[in-house]
Amino acid sequence: MKHIIRTCILMMLLACTACGSLSETRQERAEREQREALLVQQFVESADFKIDITQMIPFRGRPQHVSPFSVSVKDGKINSYLPYFGRAWDLPYGGGHGLNFQAEYQEYNVIAQPDGSDMIRILVKTDEDTHVYTFTIYDNGKVNLLVQSRNREPVSYYGEIRFSDDEDN
């Protein structure tokens, strides 16, 4: 019995030692975070990025996890593929396309925030509505998105910038 207990303790110690050697050091983490911040800044300045949405918060409702939804900005266009729950007014019969569209945007404004994040305000007009997409993008790639429309209640989304170049926007 003592042999089994000693073996278990030895295995736990080895596992803890292995985990400690696999984790990144403070310096490595700081370097990775700095690389991510520079990458985020490049995306913001170039107006070429994709946000993977993971959560939505309707104006009147509880937060909901959602997937696989996204918003991408590239070449003067916004490609919005977002769910919508909420009240709407003056819509086409059947509800229209909602927040699922691709269109050229009329305005793209970047405002640096005191906390180091960037706020991007995009105005886009579609056949159905006028939308204002307000992104708050943090250095770590996390994103808060508020969508305000003329004919719909506002809705918020949370997600992250896609760092990989595996898929096109």
Percent of the chain with pLDDT over 90: 48
Mean pLDDT, the chain, as a whole number?
A: 84
Per DSSP, what are the bridge partners of residue 127? none
Residues 6+ apart with CB under 8 A from 94: none
- pLDDT at position 90 is 74
Mean pLDDT of 144-165: 89
Give the tens place of pLDDT for each residue, 51-87.
999 999 998 888 899 988 999 999 999 999 999 888 8
Among 6-15, 27-36, 91-100, name the most confident range.
Answer: 27-36
**DSSP calls for 153-165:** --EEEEEEE----
Considering the entire predicted model, what is its pTM?
A: 0.79
Two structure tokens written together for 79: 């490609």
Number of other residues whose CB lies within 10 A of the CB of residue 9: 10
Two structure tokens written together for 92: 């086409």
- pLDDT at position 51 is 95
- pLDDT at position 133 is 97
CA dihedral 33, 161, 46, 117 (to 10 degrees): -60
Give the tens place of pLDDT for each residue, 105-130.
999 999 999 988 999 999 999 988 89
Burial letters for 126-136: b for 16+ Cβ neighbours within 10 Å, e otherwise? bebbebebbbb
Hey, what CATH class is 48-169 in?
Answer: mainly beta
